[in-house]
């Protein structure tokens, strides 16, 4: 039976039996990125999922709606965004043996207020033609003068940039992080601009030789006929900190205080960490599953293995204000 027939059958069953509540999600991720796994959940349970894309102001919206909010769950990327939602007091703890067993402790809140669903690494994209194997292996290498005029970057105030600098703070302290950020700025080939894909396009165009970019953009570019040439001009290098591993960040989920359909929402949360869902979710977004043993997509596996950094994500979120201040002090964006 194909997916369409399964969905039709599930819908008919829901109509014939007791009423089943929908699950409503506010998400900062474009709905098309997570629709495949939501469709699988509906096919299995008969519970429909309604996705509302909220690009900005998700905390303000939840605060304004209060107990009247239709949102059961909120999904977002970046640990700082998850912490902001928690600090705003708009989500509730979720007690679930399934979630706690599936998700490593370092990838969920100590108070069970947020749970990671997938992870991504902040890596180096290097020109196949102009960067030799082994020429750059650590984040610290990026401040070496040999890279002067050879690095492209998006804004230092972007969430991904701030998360990485927060990791630098965790490893080297604020003074060391300030020195690192200033050294990276000195090596820029141009003023920071554009998104992660724009940095890879600049490497392809010969404007720079390396950039810091999330892993999953490689998959996204290879899936786009207009961007395949950019992707094929570079390779992924997994840098590490000299005293640590490769920096990672997460996409995650939390249950709102209002959660009018709490039982169904919890059912969805637990489904999202099942082996089937983890494989679908990770493969659709070219990300890494959080569930140990879940299979990587063939493409993601081809990028190679790496050792994730062990700095606690909650600590990284706590360093964000200092990271913002440092980026402004070194005038990273020029």
Q: Domain segments of the chain: what residues?
A: 3-119+248-297, 120-246+306-329
- Note the pLDDT tens digit of each residue in 162-190: 999 999 999 999 999 999 999 999 999 99
Confidence of residue 19 (pLDDT cuts 50, 70, 90): low
Predicted pLDDT at 116? 96
Lowest mean pLDDT: which of 4-18, 24-38, 169-183, 291-305? 4-18
Q: Are 74 and 53 contacting, i.e. CB atoms less than 8 angstroms apart?
A: no
- Per-residue pLDDT, averaged over 138-159, amounts to 97
Hey, what are 239's tokens?
């840098």
Bridge partners of 50?
24
User: 55-64: long-range contacts at Cβ-Cβ below 8 A with a sequence spacing of 24 or more?
Assistant: 55/28, 58/26, 58/28, 58/85, 59/84, 59/85, 59/88, 59/90, 61/26, 62/26, 62/88, 62/90, 62/256, 62/257, 62/258, 63/88, 63/90
Number of residues that make up the chain = 334
What lies within 8 Å, CB to CB, of 110 at 6+ separation is 314
- As a CATH number, domain 3-119+248-297 is 3.40.190.10
- Per-residue pLDDT, averaged over 258-283, amounts to 95
Predicted pLDDT at 314? 86
Round to whole Å and give the CA distance between 268 and 234: 38
- Per-residue pLDDT, averaged over 149-156, amounts to 98
* pLDDT of 55 higher than 60: yes
* pLDDT of 13 higher than 90: no
Decide if domain 120-246+306-329 falls under CATH 3.20.20.70: no
Q: Please state, for a pLDDT cut of 70, what percent of the chain lies above it.
A: 94
* pLDDT of 4 higher than 90: no
Q: Are 114 and 86 contacting, i.e. CB atoms less than 8 angstroms apart?
A: yes
Q: Are 256 and 94 contacting, i.e. CB atoms less than 8 angstroms apart?
A: no
Q: Do 120-246+306-329 and 3-119+248-297 have the same topology in CATH?
A: yes
* pLDDT of 334 higher than 70: yes
- Note the pLDDT tens digit of each residue in 94-109: 999 999 999 999 899 9
Confidence of residue 295 (pLDDT cuts 50, 70, 90): confident
Confidence of residue 21 (pLDDT cuts 50, 70, 90): confident
Round to whole Å and give the CA distance between 212 and 231: 14
- Note the pLDDT tens digit of each residue in 196-253: 999 999 999 999 999 999 999 999 999 999 999 999 999 999 999 999 999 999 999 9
């Amino acid at each position: 039976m194909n997916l369409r027939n399964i969905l039709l059958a599930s819908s008919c069953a829901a109509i014939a039996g007791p009423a089943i509540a929908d699950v409503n999600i506010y998400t900062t991720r474009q709905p098309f990125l997570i629709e495949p796994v939501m469709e699988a959940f509906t096919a299995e349970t008969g519970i429909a999922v309604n996705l509302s894309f909220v690009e900005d102001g998700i905390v303000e919206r939840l605060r304004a709606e209060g107990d009247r909010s239709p949102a059961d769950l909120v999904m977002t990327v970046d640990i700082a965004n998850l912490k902001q939602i928690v600090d705003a007091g708009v989500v509730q703890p979720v007690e679930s043996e399934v979630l706690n067993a599936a998700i490593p402790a370092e990838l969920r809140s100590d108070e069970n207020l947020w749970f990671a669903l997938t992870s991504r690494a902040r890596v180096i994209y290097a020109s196949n033609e102009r960067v030799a194997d082994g020429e750059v292996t650590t984040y610290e290498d990026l401040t070496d003068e040999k890279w002067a005029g050879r690095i492209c970057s998006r804004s230092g105030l972007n969430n991904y940039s701030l998360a990485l600098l927060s990791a630098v703070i965790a490893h080297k302290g604020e003074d060391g992080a300030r020195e690192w950020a200033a050294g990276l700025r000195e090596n820029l080939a141009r003023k920071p601009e554009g998104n992660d894909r724009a940095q890879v396009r600049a490497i392809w165009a010969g404007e720079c030789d390396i950039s810091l970019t999330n892993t999953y953009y490689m998959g996204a570019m290879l899936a786009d006929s207009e961007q395949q040439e950019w992707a094929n001009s570079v390779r992924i290098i997994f840098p590490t900190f000299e005293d640590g591993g490769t920096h990672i960040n997460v996409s995650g989920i939390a249950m709102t205080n209002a959660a009018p359909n709490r039982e169904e929402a919890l059912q969805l949360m637990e489904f999202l960490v099942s082996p089937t869902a983890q494989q679908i979710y990770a493969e659709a977004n070219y990300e890494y599953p959080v569930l140990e043993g879940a299979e990587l997509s063939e493409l993601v596996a081809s990028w190679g293995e790496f050792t994730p950094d062990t700095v606690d994500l909650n600590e990284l979120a706590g360093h964000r204000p200092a990271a913002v201040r440092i980026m402004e002090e070194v005038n990273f964006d020029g």
